Homo-oligomer: A and B are copies of this chain.
Amino acid sequence: MYVKDIQTGICEKHGEPAVEKESAATALVDGRNLLGPVVGNFCMELAVKKARDVGVGWVVAHGSNHYGIAGYYAMQALKENMIGMSFTNTSPLVVPTRGKECTLGTNPISVAAPAADGDSLVLDMATSAVAIGKVELYERRGDPIPEGWGCDARGQLTTEPGRVLGGGGLVPLGGSEATGGYKGFGLGMMVEVFCGILAGAQYSKNIRTWKETSRVADLGQCFVAINPENFAPGFSERLSDLLRIQRGLNPANPDIPVLVAGDPERMHMKMCEEMGGIPYHMNVVNYMNQCAQKVGVSTLLPCDRLISN
């Protein structure tokens, strides 16, 4: 997707994001249609700088593109012992409660907070019940999806992935109205307020559809850093204790421990470290090698071990 954005020229390849308006604690940034990670890194760095000075930095950008993993930016603040947040609006894939048309993206919320000894809480969640990729996976497998993930073209919850993908849409976190779907809808709207509305970017159903490249994305994004030093002493120790309380809970199923946000990824990283590398399916390696060949970069992925299972 990123390569295509560069090849079609729909993204800018050169230049730097520009600060359009600034105060000690805030900034409005023009992403100048550069790749999302370029805009995101620029804005998060600025937010951390402001939080160092006045305790909080709130930076929003318009003219941005898909920025990858929301949590990546929030986690930049951890290096400075700060709380980081990042939000982005996205292409319409979510049907509001009571509706039957997609007018919001999966609009993620990410928050990272530093605990003691390098530990942390890292929340990175779509405000829909699941990502669209998960529904696609179930369709490919031919499996039904759990009720509460998506709806059909008439706005009715469905367990058939094909109906979600063919004219329906994802539903907000919470599922049906009875189980609190309107709260997920409200959270998606909050993210849109922090992104498209605050930044003056595209918003809601005006955002180009997923993978469309006929016009610029002009996404809105929001980056926040909060310095615990400006509040009560002992932040990291209290957070460690909070994490300890949750992880130490007696689980409902003795074989499935209680985890906090960020733990599954931490466990995967530990596994990779023990393996001495990141495992990919051979099909992914082959596909990436083909991509590399097409764009004329080295196909030599450092793939030095084959594991079968």
Contact = CB atoms under 8 A, between A and B. Distances in A.
A218 to B, nearest CB: 12
| Copies held by the complex | 2
B125 A245 contact: no
B183 A238 contact: no
Contact of A230 (B28, B190, B233, B249): B28
Interface in A115-172: 121, 123, 125, 129-130, 146-149, 151, 154-156
A250 interface: yes
A129 B246 CA distance: 19
B238 A203 contact: yes
A10 interface: no
A234 B200 contact: yes
Contacts of A109: 187
A260 interface: yes
A231 B29 CA distance: 9
Contacts of A26: 54-56, 227, 230-231
Given A25-B55, A196-B242, 6 more contacts: A23-B54, A26-B231, A96-B249, A155-B253, A199-B231, A203-B238
Interface of A: 21, 23-26, 28, 54-56, 58, 60, 62, 83, 96-101, 103, 109, 111, 113, 121, 123, 125, 129-130, 146-149, 151, 154-156, 173-175, 178-180, 182-187, 189-190, 192-193, 196-200, 203-205, 226-228, 230-235, 238-239, 242, 245-246, 249-253, 256-261
12 contacts: A23-B55, A25-B25, A28-B231, A96-B246, A98-B258, A100-B251, A123-B189, A129-B179, A149-B179, A151-B252, A182-B261, A204-B242
